[in-house]
């Protein structure tokens, strides 16, 4: 009876998972910190809503632009490396064969077998073999600027909308408490989801996100209290 060995890998999620977690975390932390700072400075409920909405829009656009530019720079570097490798394969195929075989020898193959493997792989896809084994490029890890920009902007907006919703519908009397407590809960949920999606240790992932989020909110709230004036 034939049995199938099924393995679940999460490496293909790196491209969008990093941008999504970064965007959502930044959305929650920056918006909650902004709102806490304004609230600690005795800002009105209207000023809180205006500041929160402005922070959501500006943050989402900033995240999209930043991710697009940075990831596009990575894509340009990858493209330049591939062009250089393509020229080297054209001008010195024998040297590139030796180089690839040397990589396999360092990984534990015997020289004869390493040269055979290099020969067969180069006959099948020379550029792809060198991109993968010499340059360390892979399909799952390749730069995707548009995907990263969209993931960051969308996740930032979703993250920022959470503390903004608490500000809009939460009790005005204890708004600072509700903002802080719910934002910590949102960050903990984000840590849980990111740990599950990436296969990381859930406890460490959650504590890491919550710690830095609480620190940012505490500092911002303290600055608001320090410079606050009576309404």
Q: Look at residue 10 and tell me whether its pLDDT is greater than 60.
A: no
Q: What is the mean pLDDT of residues 41-61?
A: 89
- Rg from Cα positions in the chain: 25
Reported as a single tens digit per residue, the pLDDT across 120-176 is 888 888 887 888 877 777 655 566 778 778 888 898 999 999 999 999 988 878 888
Q: What is the mean pLDDT of residues 49-59?
A: 92
Q: How confident is the model at residue 50 (pLDDT cuts 50, 70, 90)?
A: very high
Reported as a single tens digit per residue, the pLDDT across 77-98 is 888 888 888 888 888 888 888 8
Q: Are 147 and 155 in contact (CB under 8 A)?
A: no
Report the chain's mean pLDDT, rounded to a whole number. Answer: 80
Reported as a single tens digit per residue, the pLDDT across 198-219 is 666 677 878 888 888 888 888 8
Measured distance CA(143)–CA(18) in Å, rounded: 12
Q: What is the mean pLDDT of residues 9-34?
A: 72
Contact partners, residue 16, CB within 8 Å, separation at least 6: 147, 148, 151
Query: What is the reported pLDDT for 138?
Result: 66
Query: What is the reported pLDDT for 33?
Result: 87
Query: What is the reported pLDDT for 93?
Result: 84
Q: Look at residue 15 and tell me whether its pLDDT is greater than 60.
A: no
- Percentage of the chain beyond pLDDT 90 is 11
End-to-end CA distance of the chain: 77
- What are the backbone angles phi and psi of residue 38, rounded to the nearest 5°? -65, -40
3-class secondary structure per residue, the chain: CCCCCCCCCCHHHHHHHHHHHHHHHHHHHHHHHHHHHHHHCCCCHHHHHHHHHHHHHHHHHHHHHHHHHHHHHHHHHHHHHHHHHHHHHHHCHHHHHHHHHHHHHHCCCCHHHHHHHHHHHHHHHHHHHHHHHCCCCCCCCCCCHHHHHHHHHHHHHHHHHHHHHHHHHCCCCCHHHHHHHHHHHHHHHHHHHHHHHHCCCHHHHHHHHHHHHHHHHHHHHHHHHHHCCCC
Query: What is the reported pLDDT for 9?
Result: 43
Q: Look at residue 1 and tell me whether its pLDDT is greater than 50.
A: no
Measured distance CA(88)–CA(178) in Å, rounded: 61
For residues 184 and 2, the model is more confident at 184
Query: What is the reported pLDDT for 139?
Result: 54
Structure tokens at 53: 């909405």
Measured distance CA(101)–CA(43) in Å, rounded: 67
The structure's pTM equals 0.67
Structure tokens at 229: 């004036």
For residues 192 and 12, the model is more confident at 192
């Amino acid at each position: 009876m034939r049995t199938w060995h099924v393995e679940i890998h999460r490496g293909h999620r790196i491209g969008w998972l990093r941008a999504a977690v970064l965007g959502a975390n930044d959305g929650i932390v920056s918006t909650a910190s902004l709102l806490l700072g304004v609230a600690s400075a005795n800002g009105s409920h209207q000023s809180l809503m205006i500041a929160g909405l402005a922070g959501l829009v500006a943050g989402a656009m900033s995240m999209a632009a930043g991710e697009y530019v940075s990831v596009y720079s990575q894509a340009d570097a990858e493209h330049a490396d591939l062009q250089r490798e393509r020229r080297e394969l054209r001008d010195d195929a024998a040297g590139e064969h030796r180089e690839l075989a040397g990589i396999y020898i360092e990984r534990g193959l015997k020289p004869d077998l390493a040269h055979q493997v290099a020969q067969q792989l180069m006959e099948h896809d020379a550029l792809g073999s060198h991109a993968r084994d010499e340059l360390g490029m892979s399909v799952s890890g390749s730069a995707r600027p548009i995907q990263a920009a969209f993931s960051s902007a969308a996740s930032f907006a979703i993250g920022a909308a959470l503390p903004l919703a608490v500000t809009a519908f939460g009790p005005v009397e204890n708004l600072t408490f509700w903002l802080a407590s719910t934002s910590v809960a949102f960050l903990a949920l984000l840590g849980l989801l990111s740990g599950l999606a990436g296969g990381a240790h859930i406890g460490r992932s959650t504590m890491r996100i919550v710690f830095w989020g609480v620190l940012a909110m505490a500092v911002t709230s303290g600055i608001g209290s320090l410079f606050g004036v009576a309404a």
